């Protein structure tokens, strides 16, 4: 399926935001330096921020003439906030999403906009070194060379990160918007549903996002736990966790590896990696208890 984005059509950049006052200025500065031949706007979706996010965003009205702030107050959750942004962009033929705590690279908008003139569904790589301390990125590659999961055999396994994803209105009108019942993992489910609906996910290497990693132990634990729990929910929904052995392995496996890593901890990075894996294991157990047993 394909719905080309014409030069006269409008592309909306949607930024979900909750308490992003400390980081969103960097993102808006980067967006203000973007150039693209088509008409485009920036929509910041304020999800009940209690800091001065709105005041910071308003300071960029001159640098980003087509900047809007919309309220997303009904409930918390990134899927809901993205959907509010999509609904607010009622004149746009295409949408790209980035986050308030990351930074788009030079040429990101042009790469995404041009890609959406050919494809209905696109994503790009994440880069980890620019916004993070060296100790935090030792275990990461400089860039993702392909969408997560694209090495898997099942066709819809590939998915686009919700912080760097683009799609046309045709796709939304065909498959629907983000699933608001999912607090996490909504980008995986959206990607799989799109591909099952006939929309191929295209990876655009030039559309790079500088990604901000979590640096403290608690934040890493919580993020990894939430992602792992959501992954169980999404995989179960798509029939990927069938069989008693698969469920038991997911529930009981992984503890030996955690113990081995625990005795090898030497650095801050080691502690963060261990906490992420521990959080992931707890999330898998919680997911099994809630969705499988």
Would the pLDDT of 18 be above 70? Answer: yes
In whole angstroms, give the CA distance from residue 69 to residue 72. 10
pLDDT tens-digit map of 79-121? 999 999 999 998 899 999 999 999 999 999 999 999 999 999 9
Per-residue confidence (pLDDT) for residue 261, from 0 to 100: 87
In whole angstroms, give the CA distance from residue 11 to residue 168. 9
Per-residue three-class SS string for 72-91: CCCCCCHHHHHHHHHHHCCC
Per-residue confidence (pLDDT) for residue 141, from 0 to 100: 57
Q: Which two tokens stand for residue 284?
A: 């898998």
pLDDT tens-digit map of 168-207? 999 999 999 999 999 899 999 999 999 999 999 999 999 9
pTM of the model: 0.90
Percent of the chain clearing pLDDT 90 (strictly above):
69
Classify 131 as helix, strand or coil.
coil
Grade residue 142 by pLDDT with cuts at 50, 70 and 90. Answer: low
Q: Which two tokens stand for residue 191?
A: 């990607």
pLDDT tens-digit map of 208-264? 999 999 888 999 999 999 999 999 999 998 888 887 787 788 888 888 899 988 889
> 10-210 sits in which CATH class?
alpha beta
The string of DSSP letters for 237-275 reads: HTT-S-SHHHHHHHHHTTHHHHHHHHHT--SHHHHHHHH
Would the pLDDT of 1 be above 50? Answer: no
Would the pLDDT of 3 be above 60? Answer: no
In whole angstroms, give the CA distance from residue 271 to residue 209. 26
Grade residue 149 by pLDDT with cuts at 50, 70 and 90. Answer: confident
Classify 143 as helix, strand or coil.
strand
**Average pLDDT in the chain:** 90
């Amino acid at each position: 399926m394909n719905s080309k984005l014409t030069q006269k059509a409008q592309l909306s950049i949607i930024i979900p935001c909750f308490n992003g006052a400390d980081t969103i200025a960097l993102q808006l500065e980067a967006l203000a330096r973007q150039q693209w031949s088509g008409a485009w706007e920036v929509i910041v979706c304020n999800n009940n921020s209690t800091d001065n996010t709105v005041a910071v965003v308003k300071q960029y009205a001159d640098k980003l003439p087509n900047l809007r702030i919309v309220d997303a107050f009904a409930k918390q959750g990134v899927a809901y906030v993205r959907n509010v942004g999509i609904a607010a962009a009622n004149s746009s033929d295409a949408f790209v999403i980035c986050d308030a705590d990351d930074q788009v690279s030079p040429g990101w908008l042009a790469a995404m906009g041009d890609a959406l003139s050919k494809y209905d569904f696109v994503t790009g790589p994440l880069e980890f070194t620019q916004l993070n301390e060296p100790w935090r990125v030792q275990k990461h590659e400089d860039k993702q060379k392909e969408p997560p999961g694209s090495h898997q055999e099942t066709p819809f396994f590939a998915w686009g990160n919700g912080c760097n994803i683009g799609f046309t209105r045709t796709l939304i009108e065909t498959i629907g918007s983000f699933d608001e019942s999912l607090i996490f993992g909504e980008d995986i489910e959206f990607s799989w549903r799109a591909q099952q609906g006939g929309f191929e996910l295209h990876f655009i290497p030039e559309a790079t996002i500088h990604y901000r990693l979590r640096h403290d132990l608690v934040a890493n634990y919580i993020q990894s736990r939430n992602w792992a729990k959501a992954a169980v929910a999404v995989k179960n929904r798509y029939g990927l966790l069938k069989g008693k052995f698969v469920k038991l392995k997911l529930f009981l496996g992984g503890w030996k590896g955690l113990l081995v890593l625990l005795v090898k901890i030497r650095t801050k990075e080691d502690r963060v990696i261990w906490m992420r894996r521990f959080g992931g294991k707890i999330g898998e157990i919680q997911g099994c208890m809630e969705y499988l047993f």
